[in-house]
Amino acid sequence: ILNFVRIESGRLEYRNVAVPVCEALTEVGDMLSGAVAEKGLTLRPPADNPDVVAWADPDRVRQIMVNLVMNAVKYTPQGGGTITLTCEASGDAVVVRVADTGQGIPHDRLESIFEPFVQLTAGLAERRGGVGLGLAISRDLARAMSGDLTAHSTVGVGSQFTLTLPRARQDGEEDRRE
């Protein structure tokens, strides 16, 4: 909740540097491998691609990734589900995807999941932990770093969250962010 208040008040500071995104995503996957194994899920790590480097705050990027992977673990049913992590460079952007084979999100609720304190459960008995701030904070963090966080989902099939961030300049290019 404190993070949310800091973001909303504009008091959160960002330290943008070159962030090797595939490496960071692999580290997050390794860090959460115990939770994945406990639920009997399969985690497919991203292919290592050293050219996928974002211009962002590394702590905030990891915070977003941890939230996305933990949500995938929470909302993918016990035993047999798969969480797939990918990252790629696309023009001036870096694209990170966290996809799961979970319950999916109804189309009419896709935007509301990014609102503070929203969870997709019918009542307290179905709550899976948290207070419904993770995705709201993650989207705000992404947008503060000139990126975005979006979702695509099919009920009964799964969800895919896409984090887009500015790509760090390549050697020989002028830095457009100065």
Query: Mean pLDDT per 10-residue run, the chain (178 residues)?
Result: 49 89 96 96 94 96 96 91 96 97 92 80 46 87 96 96 94 49
Give the per-residue pLDDT at 12.
Answer: 75
Angle between helix 134-144 and 58-75 (nearest 10): 150
H helices then E strands: how many in the chain?
A: 5, 7
- CA proximity to 86, closest of 27, 54, 45, 53: 45
CA 48, 54, 60: angle at the middle one, nearest 5?
Answer: 105
DSSP 167: B
Give the per-residue pLDDT at 95.
Answer: 98
Give the per-residue pLDDT at 118.
Answer: 67
Instruction: At 65, list the tokens.
Output: 């990734």
The pTM assigned to this predicted structure is: 0.86
Within 10 A of 162 (CB to CB), how many other CB atoms are there?
A: 17
Give the per-residue pLDDT at 30.
Answer: 96
d(CA 125, CA 175): 51
Within 10 A of 32 (CB to CB), how many other CB atoms are there?
A: 18
d(CA 147, CA 167): 10
Give the per-residue pLDDT at 100.
Answer: 97
Give the per-residue pLDDT at 80.
Answer: 84
